[in-house]
Each structure stands twice: as structure tokens, then as C-alpha cells.
């Protein structure tokens, strides 16, 4: 049917070349389809356009080898024609399998980062929540402390009034006792002495009350000062925590934005992988198509039938194909057009390989076997 000899640029273009060579086989199946399906002129144009793209972007896969491509072939067109539809289907299946593999690989490559970003959001939410709870506790403490300060101020004001009253009473009692001592208003000396003693005792009691109240007032004033200092410290802590809370909320919002952006990419990758898998399943479950393109007459021989042992001549791409001398125009779309209906878009390599210089070129040599030839 067909014999191909290709360079390593074809083999290196497919990731499974070291496993089962399925990609390489698919390439030659697709090439056989094109040889059968096109006129020599069309095949020549197709190869000139396809080979550089194949080296750069690959064919039926995700990336090319970046190497020069050289392929030689001998194809029995008549023998290969019945298998063309099956070959086309194989290229479509391989394309969708590769698409599904790389799309699933894109999902796999995003799983770890997706989990990390999701964990960061959870950690930022916990930190912001803890900071909020701590801030609420500090604010409650400040409210209670402020209430204590106001009550202390009220008690201190009352104690000051009481102290002032005791001071007036002490002054009045002292004046009365002094008058008793100096005035001799009473003739009864014994009663006078008792009265002065009672006045002195009352003055002593007033002094003790005054000093006690004074000490209590000073203690309350010191307590008030401590409360005010605690309030100042608490206010500073609240201000610092407010700033931390603001920073945490900003960090949380950033983590949420980053996760939302990456989560959208992750879900898109999942959807793309699922879509590729469904497309592959649909193709595998669909019945194979028959060869529905017009029969291509065998090319006119470029020379007389070769004698035994004479090498087969290269196929002339300028040889007319039909009896009328017109170029054959196939109604069957190319393999790229067929694949375009299935996949809609192709994945290009993230890091395209370097293209060789024009001097290295892309070469392909074909010879055709006519069923009438006798070797």
C-alpha cells in the first residue's frame, strides 16, 4: 500500500514516540490520506504549506519538533484508497486524544496552585475573623473601662465635697473650743473642762474623718489615673489593631481576587478537558464514515513501463490527471478542515520550538505505483 522513510524530525514531534509510535503512525496515515485525496499539484502545494507548520506547531498534537522534515514515500494510490476514510478517522481520534490529554494535563498542572490559593484565602479569612473578634473584645474592654472612669470621677467629686464639709466642721469646732477656753463663759470650772474635753474629742474625730476621707480621695484619684493610663494604652492597641484589620482585609480581598481569577482559569481548563473528552467519546461511538470522495483516476505515466530492475521514477506534479486535461478539484475537505469541525481550535505549544534556517529546508520525495505497472 505505502512505504515511508522519514527523518527524526517526524518522530520527535510526538510525545508517544518512545512508547507505541502512535503519533508517527497517525502522521503517515494522514499523509497517505492526502496523497490519495489530492492531485499532484494540490499535494505539492499542501506539502509546501504543511511541512513548516508541522515542524513549528505539530500536526494532530500540541507542538512540533522544530527540526527539518524529510520524508520519502512509495504509495500505491489504488490500494490505499479504500483505507482513506479509516485513516482520516484515525487522525481525528488521535487529535482528540491528544487534545484531551493536554487539556487534562493543564488541569493537573493547576490543581496544586489552585489548592494553595484556596488555602491562602481560608487562612486570610481566619486571620481577619480572629482580628475582628479581638478588636471587638478590646472595644468592649474600653467601654467598660470608660464607664469605670466616669464612676470614679463621680465618687471623687462626692468625696471632695465631703472632705470640704469636714474641713468646715473642723474649723467651726476649733473656733468654738477656743472661745470656751478664752471666754470663761461658764462659772462651773468642772463643767467647763468637760465641755472643752468633749470639744477636743469632737475635733479629733473630725480630724480623723478628714484624714481618712482625704486618704480615700487620694487613693481614688490614683486609681482614676491608672484607669486613664489603661484607657490610653487600650486606645493605642485599638488603633494598631484597626490598622492590622485594614491590612488583613486588604490582603483577604487580594487573595480572593487572585483565587477567583485562577479558579476561573481552572474551571475553564476543566470544562475544556471535559469538552474534549466528550468530543472524543462522541467520535469513538459514531460509526466510521465510508470513502465518499470521487474516485481519482491513476496519474498518466511519465514514461514507458519500466523494465525489471529499473528504478521507479519520481511522480511529476505537473502531469495532467483527467482526460480533459483539467486539474482535478476534490470536493472532500482537507484533514485540517475535517478536524476543525470537531475541535474548533487547536492548542499551540506554550514554548514553540526554534525553527531551523531556510537553508535546511523541508524535503519530501514521492513515487507512485500504478496498478498496471509490472515489476
HSE of 194 in the Cβ direction (CA atoms, 13 Å)? 5
- Please tell me the distance from the alpha carbon of residue 287 to that of residue 131, in angstroms, as a whole number: 63
pLDDT per position as a tens digit, 156-181: 888 888 878 877 877 777 777 676 66
CA gap 165, 171 in Å, rounded = 10
- Check if the beta carbon of residue 220 is closer than 8 Å to that of residue 177: no
Indicate the pTM of the whole model.
Answer: 0.55
Rounded Cα gap, residues 81 and 20, in angstroms: 25
What number of H helices and E strands is found in the chain?
7, 3
pLDDT truncated to tens, each residue of the chain (375 aa)? 889 888 888 888 888 888 888 889 999 999 999 999 888 889 888 888 888 888 888 888 877 788 788 888 898 999 999 999 999 999 999 999 888 888 999 999 999 999 999 999 999 999 999 999 999 999 999 899 899 888 888 888 888 888 788 778 777 777 776 766 665 555 555 655 666 677 667 777 777 777 787 888 888 888 888 888 988 998 999 999 999 999 999 999 999 999 999 999 999 999 999 998 998 898 888 877 655 444 444 444 333 433 444 443 333 333 333 333 344 344 444 444 444 443 444 443 334 344 344 434 445 555 444 444 443
Instruction: List 367's β-bridge partners, or say none.
Output: 74
124 contacts 279 by C-beta, under 8 angstroms: no
> What are the pLDDT digits (tens) for 262-298?
999 999 999 999 998 998 898 888 877 655 444 444 4
The torsion angles phi and psi of 247, rounded to 5 degrees, stand at -65, -40
* Nine-digit cell string for 167: 474641713
Phi/psi of residue 74, nearest 5 degrees? -125, 120
Amino acid at each position: 500500500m505505502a512505504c515511508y522513510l522519514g527523518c527524526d524530525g517526524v518522530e520527535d514531534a510526538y510525545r508517544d514516540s518512545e512508547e507505541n509510535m502512535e503519533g508517527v503512525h497517525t502522521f503517515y496515515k494522514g499523509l497517505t490520506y492526502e496523497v490519495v485525496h489530492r492531485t499532484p499539484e494540490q499535494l505539492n502545494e499542501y506539502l509546501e504549506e504543511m511541512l513548516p507548520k508541522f515542524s513549528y506547531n505539530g500536526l494532530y498534537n500540541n507542538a512540533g519538533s522544530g527540526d527539518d522534515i524529510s520524508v520519502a514515500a512509495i504509495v500505491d494510490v489504488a490500494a490505499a484508497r479504500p483505507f482513506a476514510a479509516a485513516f482520516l478517522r484515525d487522525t481525528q481520534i488521535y487529535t482528540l486524544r491528544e487534545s484531551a490529554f493536554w487539556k487534562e494535563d493543564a488541569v493537573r498542572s493547576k490543581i496544586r496552585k489552585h489548592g494553595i490559593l484556596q488555602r491562602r484565602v481560608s487562612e486570610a479569612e481566619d486571620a481577619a475573623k480572629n482580628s475582628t473578634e479581638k478588636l471587638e473584645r478590646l472595644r468592649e474592654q474600653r467601654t467598660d473601662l470608660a464607664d469605670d472612669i466616669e464612676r470614679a470621677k463621680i465618687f471623687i467629686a462626692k468625696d471632695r465635697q465631703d472632705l470640704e464639709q469636714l474641713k468646715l466642721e473642723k474649723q467651726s469646732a476649733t473656733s468654738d473650743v477656743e472661745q470656751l477656753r478664752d471666754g470663761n463663759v461658764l462659772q462651773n470650772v468642772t463643767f467647763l473642762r468637760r465641755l472643752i474635753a468633749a470639744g477636743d474629742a469632737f475635733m479629733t474625730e473630725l480630724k480623723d474623718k478628714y484624714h481618712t476621707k482625704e486618704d480615700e480621695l487620694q487613693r481614688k484619684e490614683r486609681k482614676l489615673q491608672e484607669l486613664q493610663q489603661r484607657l490610653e494604652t487600650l486606645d493605642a492597641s485599638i488603633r494598631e489593631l484597626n490598622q492590622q484589620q485594614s491590612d488583613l482585609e486588604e490582603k483577604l480581598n487580594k487573595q480572593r481576587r487572585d483565587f477567583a481569577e485562577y479558579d476561573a482559569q481552572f474551571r475553564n481548563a476543566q470544562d475544556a478537558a471535559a469538552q474534549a473528552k466528550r468530543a472524543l467519546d462522541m467520535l469513538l461511538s459514531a460509526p466510521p464514515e465510508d470513502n465518499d470522495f470521487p474516485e481519482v483516476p491513476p496519474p498518466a505515466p511519465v514514461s514507458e513501463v519500466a523494465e525489471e530492475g529499473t528504478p521507479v521514477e519520481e511522480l511529476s506534479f505537473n502531469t495532467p490527471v483527467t482526460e480533459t486535461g483539467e486539474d482535478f478539484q476534490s470536493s472532500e475537505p482537507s484533514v485540517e478542515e475535517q478536524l476543525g469541525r470537531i475541535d474548533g481550535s487547536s492548542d499551540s505549544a506554550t514554548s514553540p520550538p526554534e525553527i531551523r534556517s531556510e537553508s535546511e529546508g523541508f524535503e519530501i520525495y514521492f513515487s507512485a505505483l500504478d496498478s498496471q505497472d509490472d515489476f
